[in-house]
Structure 1
């Protein structure tokens, strides 16, 4: 059996308060296999983004552990964390705020390569632009010259620059319109097939997560309510909270949408 690429064991994440600490993640467990996509879904405040930030070393781990390829990375030093940059990368929700508007696209893509001492330079930039479906002249332009979907492609290219094994994708399509979402999700799938990268894919939308994930973890108030194969979690949810998320997805038919809303209200009262 192939060992997990990433492993979370009894993870606790907390933040200081006036009275001590408040734990926002409590006892989360899951493994991520090489080349797998694990979707994490839940409403705002469920803790999904905090877990992603803990994996990236951006949120304090107060208990349990995070391991990458069997190595504990929960509370490593900044220098050790920098050494992981080639292995664990991120794509965030807002592509414009995550890209330096004063830098050309080529400079944005070269920056992580230079920081890691990689000398591939221009050739790697052309390769990355081609991989994410941007024109060859995109390198000489600035982020403001691109649409939201194109800017997210730039952010994805930057995340791929060092050939990582894991990318934490934190709501990477939520700022995009529906048609652009579909093309970006397809891009994620195509890149995974080409590179073998694994994703932690975070979203509030069960429909989006089910579109790309192999497995889905459903979070509520800092705990996993349900985790399983994407088809099972989507079609036959076992936990009432997952059922509420399923019923929250919009439908084009107004009558079906109304029936779904009544089902959701009945579940909320029962819960």
Structure 2
């Protein structure tokens, strides 16, 4: 049986102390397998981004564990954490703020390679730019010279630089227009087929995750309320919160949207009663 590449077990994240404070993540468990996309979806404040930050070592884990290929990566010393930097990368929501505006694209892509002691960075930069569909001369330009979608491609190239096993995609398309969003999602799927990378995909938009996910975990108030195959969650949601998310997802047909909105109000009224 295939072992998960990334695993969270009874994960708890609490701010303000172990005994008091605010619990943001409360006993979350999931497995992520090689070549798979597991999406964490929920409204703002549901805890999905905090889970991504805990996986990356950017948020303290109060309870439970996060492990990579069976080795604990949560709450480990910084020197030991750096060992996992090659294997677990991230693409953030806003590519402009995550890319150093004073560095050329080539310098941005070479930086993680140099830190890992990888030589022949120039060839790797050309390969990365080609992989994400950017011209070869992009390396000599600065992030400000690119569109939002192109900047996100640069961020994806940087995440791919060290051939990671897992990429945390934290709302990677929410700052893009619909057309550009579709192109970036297709790029992520194409790269996954080519490399076998696993995505922990974080989004508030159930419509987006329905199209890219193998499995979906629905978060509500810091807990997973439903997890399953993407098709099952999309077509036959079991939890009332998941059904509300489905009904809130935008659709192109105004009449269908109107019926969804009416049904959502009906469900909310029934819950309140």
TM-score normalized with structure 2 length: 0.97
Rounded Cα–Cα distance in structure 1 between residues aligned with 2:85 and 2:163: 10
1:262: which partner in 2? 262
Deviation of 1:3 (Å): 0.8
Deviation of 1:134 (Å): 0.2
2:188: which partner in 1? 188
Query: What whole-Å deviation, never above 9, does each CA across 1:50-77 have from its counterpart, x for those lacking one?
Result: 0000000011101111111000111111
Q: SS at the partner of 1:155?
A: helix
Rounded Cα–Cα distance in structure 2 between residues aligned with 1:79 and 1:268: 49
Count of aligned pairs? 271
Deviation of 1:118 (Å): 1.0
2:15: which partner in 1? 15
1:211: which partner in 2? 211
Rounded Cα–Cα distance in structure 1 between residues aligned with 2:199 and 2:253: 33
TM-score normalized with structure 1 length: 0.98
Rounded Cα–Cα distance in structure 2 between residues aligned with 1:102 and 1:15: 34
1:27: which partner in 2? 27
5+ residue gaps, structure 2, are none
5+ residue gaps, structure 1, are none
Rounded Cα–Cα distance in structure 1 between residues aligned with 2:147 and 2:90: 20
Rounded Cα–Cα distance in structure 2 between residues aligned with 1:192 and 1:254: 34
Rounded Cα–Cα distance in structure 2 between residues aligned with 1:158 and 1:170: 15
Rounded Cα–Cα distance in structure 1 between residues aligned with 2:204 and 2:226: 15
- The correspondence of residues 1-271 of structure 1 with structure 2, limited to 5 A, is 1-16=1-16, 20-271=20-271
Tell me if the contact between 2:5 and 2:69 (Cα under 8 Å) persists in the aligned partners. Answer: yes
Rounded Cα–Cα distance in structure 1 between residues aligned with 2:120 and 2:208: 35
